Amino acid sequence: MKGLRAIPAPLQLAFLVSFAEIIAYAVFYATVDQPWGAPRFELTMRGLTLATEVCALAGMIELSRRLTGIAAAGATVALVGYALELAADVGWTFAMFNTKLWEHEWIFTANQWAWWIGSTVLLVGIAIAAWEQIAVAIVTLVIGLLIYPPPILGKLLYSWMPDGKTGIVMQYAMMAARLALMVLAVSTFARRDHVTDRRLAAQGLRGCASALWMRIIAACGVVLITAMAAGGARRGEGAVEFLKLATMAGAAINIAALVWFATGALRAAASRVAELNRYMLVLAGGASLWGAGVVLGQLPQLYHMLYKPDDVLGRGSHETVEALKLAMPLVVMLGVAILALVIGSFAALRRAEELRVQAQTRGIIFVALLLFSLGIQVWVLPKSESLGSFAFTSLLAAFAALVGTIVIAKLCMLAADELEKEPGLPAATLISDGT
């Protein structure tokens, strides 16, 4: 248990969510007759996958800095493995922009090999890092390679497995066992780090603020393009093309901003400042990453719907684009609200009364404005009967979201300034994170 507790919080969350994903997939494929018709489930899993990949990457970076010798070398190799898995995931998303993807078998083959290479590099790195416990390292490496062999050998090794739902459940059970071995191996070389870095925490919160400002700039750009589209419609110009551009650009910038926000929250958690609840910070970052994963999963379908509506993928993309249109912004909003709570708790422990009041007030304002904006987008905007009314309600929703985001961005900057001040009391006397 001590080894498990020494694993960095982002890596703990990544392992926990990975187990949950395996169970969810096994139950889903075992109980649903037509799994290909469930965009909400697939997008939910897509968001969780991106969140686990980035959190695992951040956690392994944090862990590698604590280690020395062969353990540090192995952790670095494992870090490369996580990076390769993330690259394979993002690469597959870009491949889905191809309207005739099913005609190119080599893309599917390349994707299989990319995932296997990333997963195998990760497994080898963990085994190297755990080499002081040689029995655990060897068992993890051998069984891990047997469970997930190269694609060219997979059919030969597992030709005995039954087809259908039983075989699928068995595959996921084996993947769960492989993951459990990896967690056990990581726990053997995980080390605690009691050194705090208030400057890193301040940089992380400023990163969160910068990400929020990016969303603000993007929202202003969308407002400008929407206004141009509304004006162009009256003059018979290409208003639709403007709206298409705004939609695609807004989605891409939203992904970047959500990942940036999460990176800031994870950096603040890695600082190990005692007054900052690192588990809450990781949850805030994870919520933002989940939202980024959902938008990333929708991006190819959004492109097909806007620019290739008559193609096979274009005709079936609307349901995916509309899926989770309420859940995704709510989860992202929850992540930002959690960050406000963390800042409020930090201010109370630091006895910074003004910052504490600011955190409470601004958190309430943010939630109220974002719920108002979300209500307009979900229930009012779809009922717009003209481009003019659509533009007006879009501007109203954007303005509410804009003000709420500015409020929290300024709060992050205030908290970063407070972090760079000398604390009134030693951190160890103020709070313990339970580890």
pLDDT band, very low/low/confident/very high, at 435 (cuts 50, 70, 90)? very low
Q: Domain tally for the chain?
A: 2
Examine the domain organization and report whether 17 and 65 are in the same domain.
yes
Question: What is the pTM assigned to this prediction?
Answer: 0.90
pLDDT at 427 over 60: no
**To the nearest whole number, what is the mean pLDDT of the chain?**
87
Range of the domain at 303: 198-429
Does 262 or 239 have the greater pLDDT score?
262
Hey, is 78 helix, strand or coil? Answer: helix
To the nearest whole percent, how much of the chain has pLDDT over 90? 60
Examine the domain organization and report whether 59 and 136 are in the same domain.
yes
According to the model, what pLDDT value does residue 219 have? 73
Examine the domain organization and report whether 185 and 203 are in the same domain.
no
DSSP sequence for 4-36: HHHS-HHHHHHHHHHHHHHHHHHHHHHH-S-GG
Does 315 or 96 have the greater pLDDT score?
96
pLDDT at 349 over 90: yes
- The residues, ordered by sequence, that sit 6+ positions from 234 with a Cβ below 8 Å of its Cβ are none
Q: Examine residue 172 and state whether it is found in any structural domain, yes or no.
A: yes
pLDDT band, very low/low/confident/very high, at 384 (cuts 50, 70, 90)? confident
Which residue from 204, 178, 313, 318 is spatially nearest to 263, judged by alpha carbons?
A: 204
* Number of neighbouring beta carbons within 10 Å of residue 434: 7
Examine the domain organization and report whether 298 and 408 are in the same domain.
yes
pLDDT at 277 over 80: yes
pLDDT at 222 over 70: no
Read off the pLDDT of residues 12-69 as tens digits, 9 standing for 90 and up. 999 999 999 999 999 998 888 777 778 899 999 999 999 999 999 999 999 999 999 9
Read off the pLDDT of residues 307-328 as tens digits, 9 standing for 90 and up. 887 676 666 688 888 888 889 9
CA distances from 16 to 25, 39, 183, 283 (A): 15, 23, 10, 12
Examine the domain organization and report whether 106 and 184 are in the same domain.
yes
| Mean pLDDT of all residues in 352-372 | 94
pLDDT at 369 over 70: yes
Number of residues written out for the chain = 435
Q: Examine residue 108 and state whether it is found in any structural domain, yes or no.
A: yes
According to the model, what pLDDT value does residue 391 have? 66
Q: Examine residue 225 and state whether it is found in any structural domain, yes or no.
A: yes
Q: Examine residue 434 and state whether it is found in any structural domain, yes or no.
A: no
Residue 422 DSSP code: P
Examine the domain organization and report whether 160 and 251 are in the same domain.
no
Examine the domain organization and report whether 69 and 168 are in the same domain.
yes
According to the model, what pLDDT value does residue 188 have? 94
Examine the domain organization and report whether 84 and 109 are in the same domain.
yes
Read off the pLDDT of residues 98-112 as tens digits, 9 standing for 90 and up. 877 777 888 889 999
According to the model, what pLDDT value does residue 152 have? 87
Q: Examine residue 116 and state whether it is found in any structural domain, yes or no.
A: yes
86-87-88 Cα angle (round to 5): 90
| Mean pLDDT of all residues in 266-281 | 94
Examine the domain organization and report whether 320 and 400 are in the same domain.
yes
Q: Examine residue 435 and state whether it is found in any structural domain, yes or no.
A: no
pLDDT at 115 over 70: yes
Cα separation, 272 vs 269, in Å, equals 6
Examine the domain organization and report whether 49 and 157 are in the same domain.
yes
Range with the lowest mean pLDDT among 113-127, 287-301, 366-380? Answer: 366-380
- Give me the long-range contacts of 224-233 (CB less than 8 A, separation at least 24): 226/391, 226/394, 226/395, 226/398, 227/391, 227/395, 229/387, 229/391, 230/387, 230/388, 230/391, 233/387
Q: Examine residue 359 and state whether it is found in any structural domain, yes or no.
A: yes
- The residues, ordered by sequence, that sit 6+ positions from 302 with a Cβ below 8 Å of its Cβ are 247, 248, 251, 317, 321
Which amino acid is present at 12?
Q
For residue 102, what are its two tokens?
Answer: 């099913």
Q: Examine residue 117 and state whether it is found in any structural domain, yes or no.
A: yes
Which residue from 180, 200, 186, 187 is spatially nearest to 126, judged by alpha carbons?
A: 186
According to the model, what pLDDT value does residue 166 have? 87
Sign of the dihedral defined by the CA atoms of residues 350, 55, 18, 120, in that order: negative
Hey, is 194 helix, strand or coil? Answer: coil
Examine the domain organization and report whether 227 and 135 are in the same domain.
no
Which amino acid is present at 35?
P
* Number of neighbouring beta carbons within 10 Å of residue 352: 21
According to the model, what pLDDT value does residue 431 have? 41
Examine the domain organization and report whether 53 and 147 are in the same domain.
yes
Say which residue the tokens 């090999």 belong to: 113
Does 357 or 377 have the greater pLDDT score?
357
